Structure 1
Amino acid sequence: MSQANLSEIRTTLEAGLSPLSLKVEDESHLHAGHMHNEGRADGGVTHVRVSVVAEAFAGKSRVERHRLVNALLAGEMAKGLHALAIDTKAPGE
């Protein structure tokens, strides 16, 4: 199985959202020993936190914003990304 990749996550979000600000953090190490992190001693990315400020979020609810990010990263979820913590803001928030 291929692995989720931080640079691919960043590239996908940049292409899909044209963010003013984007932070992508690997938090997999914080979940060592948890069920979905077993066998990931290979350094695979399983847990990611993203913080995004983008015009694309203007006028959208929190749920709509999260759905947009999740849809963009569906391919990474299929590669083994297990958990995604999302912080979204429109400019000026």
Structure 2
Amino acid sequence: MSVADIISAKLNEAFAPTHLEVINESYMHNVPKGSETHFKVVIASDSFEGQRLIGRHRAVNAALAVELANGVHALSMFTYTPDEWQGMDAVPASPKCRG
């Protein structure tokens, strides 16, 4: 099972999202081909209702603590309630790697 699949499974279990995208952005960084070290997560869940951004990010970090301690070097998060996500046109773009 790929790291992206593990991240997806854990986030689905923890948040029952109405929208979830796990995007491996490792190819954008100076890592070996086929690496799974840099990810972007876009998630919309009722679980985030009434939470501030920092609380949402802490909850995602807690759900992925094992992965973050074992190989995932970077995790970009975009966390929304279903109503917030409904107004979005697309997944936010990632900046170019500086390293």
TM-score of Structure 1 vs Structure 2, range by shorter chain: 0.7 to 0.9
Counterpart amino acid of 1:30?
M
Unaligned runs of 5+ in 2: 85-99
Counterpart amino acid of 1:81?
V
Counterpart amino acid of 1:69?
V
The 5 Å alignment of 1:60-79 reads: 60-79=51-70
* Sequence identity percentage: 37
Q: Does 1:9 align with 2:7?
A: yes
TM-score when normalising by structure 2: 0.79
Following the alignment from structure 1 to structure 2, what is the Cα–Cα distance between the partners of residues 25 and 61?
Answer: 23
CA contact (8 A) 2:43 2:79 kept: yes
Where 2:21 maps in the other structure, the secondary structure is strand
Counterpart amino acid of 1:25?
I
Moved segments of 4+, more than 6 Å = none
Q: Does 1:21 align with 2:12?
A: no
Counterpart amino acid of 2:29?
H
TM-score when normalising by structure 1: 0.84
RMSD (Å), alpha carbons: 1.2
Q: Does 1:45 align with 2:43?
A: no
**Per-residue displacement from partner, 1:59-92 (whole Å, max 9, x unpaired)?**
0000000000011111111220000000000121
**Per-residue displacement from partner, 1:13-52 (whole Å, max 9, x unpaired)?**
00000000000000001012xxxx3xx34x2311000000
